[in-house]
Amino acid sequence: MARYIDPKTNETFPIDDPIWRAPSGGPLMLTELPGITRGQIDTSVRSIWRYRAAFPFEVKEPITMGEGCTPLVTKTFGGASCSFKLEWFAPTGSFKDRGTSVMLSMLKAQGISSVLEDSSGNGGCSVAGYGAAGGLSTCICVPESTSPSKIAQVRAYGAEVVLVSGPREATEAAAIEKSAEIFYASHNWHPFFLQGTKTLGYEIWEDFNFSLPDNIVIPGGAGSNVLGCYIAFKELMAAGEIKKMPRLFLSQPAHCAPVHASFQAGAEECVETDFAPTVAEGTAIKRPIRMKQILAALRESNGGTVAIPEEEIIETSLALARTGLYTEPTSAHAAAAFTRLVEAGTIKADEQTVVILTGTGIKTTPFYEAQMASE
């Protein structure tokens, strides 16, 4: 049976206890799971819960709104072909619904009825939405600089909103302080969230008729999609379904690219780097708490990182829209990274590559209004 594990000490804890952090103060992971075979997919279910046999314990009544089973659209972009995975086709409009559905379902099964989250937008929207769907009361701490449309979405679900001044990390600190009063169901901290994001890896495997592409390019801040895919592919290898994993590439805005800086430095932990405001606000995480695990996943897959300047993020957002893909700047930089990787010869034009687009441009309407006004 799976257990929580502290990656720093290798100490394990029973999985039926509702905890979100190790006694050492660091984030928890789960011990390795055996994975599933294609025959264990519940094809009668059209959501991430078709992969429920891969989860650490059974949830009889999951909180689900049909998340997952997102479109895979093949296009020529930047002179090369790739398949865009449109993760904004989700009930609250972003990829985070995969992780939230599993996390809140498992916490509710553990007896949790009220939850706290901190977010720059999409994570808060997701926890508020799924909390409403599951009958949980929710409190969401958000930076004061968060997009008004995202704050409105959180409030529409009936969640309490706490606006926090200062940088993004101040919001996390405020939530951790408040966790003494209400359970901290953080998409960055709680290991159950990664059990939801790993369904992205399983789904890509199923999308490709139980094989895998050569490369996957993922926009990232805290790295939950990188880690989710990595966990899924490790499990598929353990189950004997695949022999090797795709190369995983992480893209970040150059104004906030700590994973890129650490990877390029050959480090195993976070290195010091400069930060500045970015239009890709959802990936502006200065110190990802699972940095060591992210770097290891990228290296084990023989992948890498790319940092994209602001102007290029803006140009790519508009270029994607001109192909019909209206995406948040937060994830548009993954498409820019794909182009750069092809131009550098790191990704070959004849290879199969999936580019993950995580959030809809509808949530960043002011950004697009400003761009259209300047044309």
Q: pLDDT for 217-236, tens place per residue?
A: 999 999 999 999 999 999 99
Contact criterion met (CB below 8 Å) for 79 and 132? no
Tokens of 94: 């972003």
| CATH class of this structure's domain 72-95+192-373 | alpha beta
Q: How confident is the model at residue 257 (pLDDT cuts 50, 70, 90)?
A: very high
CATH topology of domain 113-184: Rossmann fold (3.40.50)
Tokens of 5: 């594990």
Overall size of the chain counted in residues: 375
Tokens of 167: 């940088």
Q: What is the pLDDT of residue 282?
A: 85
pLDDT at 375 over 80: no
Q: pLDDT for 112-166, tens place per residue?
A: 999 999 987 889 999 999 999 999 999 999 998 888 888 999 999 999 999 999 8
Nearest Cα neighbor of 271 from 250, 291, 294 is 291
The residue among 120 and 284 whose pLDDT is bigger is 284
Residue 245 is classified by DSSP as: P
Cα 245 from Cα 119, distance rounded (Å) = 31
Q: pLDDT for 97-113, tens place per residue?
A: 999 999 999 999 999 99
Q: What is the pLDDT of residue 192?
A: 98
Q: What is the pLDDT of residue 16?
A: 92
Residue 270 is classified by DSSP as: P
Q: How confident is the model at residue 91 (pLDDT cuts 50, 70, 90)?
A: very high
Cα 57 from Cα 42, distance rounded (Å) = 16
Alpha carbon dihedral 141, 147, 153, 156, in 10-degree steps, equals: 70
Q: Distance of alpha carbon 62 from its chain centroid, rounded?
A: 20
β-bridge mates for residue 250, sequence order? 218, 305
The segment(s) of the chain belonging to CATH 3.40.50.1100 are: 72-95+192-373, 113-184
Cα 205 from Cα 218, distance rounded (Å) = 16
Cα 103 from Cα 194, distance rounded (Å) = 8
State the DSSP string of 335-371: HHHHHHHHHTTSS-TTS-EEEEE-BBGGGGHHHHHHH
Tokens of 1: 């049976």
State the DSSP string of 83-96: EEEETT-STTSBTH
Contact criterion met (CB below 8 Å) for 194 and 224? yes
Indicate the pTM of the whole model: 0.96
Q: pLDDT for 170-205, tens place per residue?
A: 999 999 999 999 999 999 999 999 999 999 999 999
Residue with tokens 């059974």: 58
Q: What are phi and psi of 316, to 5 degrees?
A: -70, -35
Cα 29 from Cα 41, distance rounded (Å) = 24
Tokens of 318: 């508009």
Tokens of 350: 């004849």
Lay out the sheet containing 160-164: strands in order across.
Answer: 160-164, 137-143, 114-118, 183-184
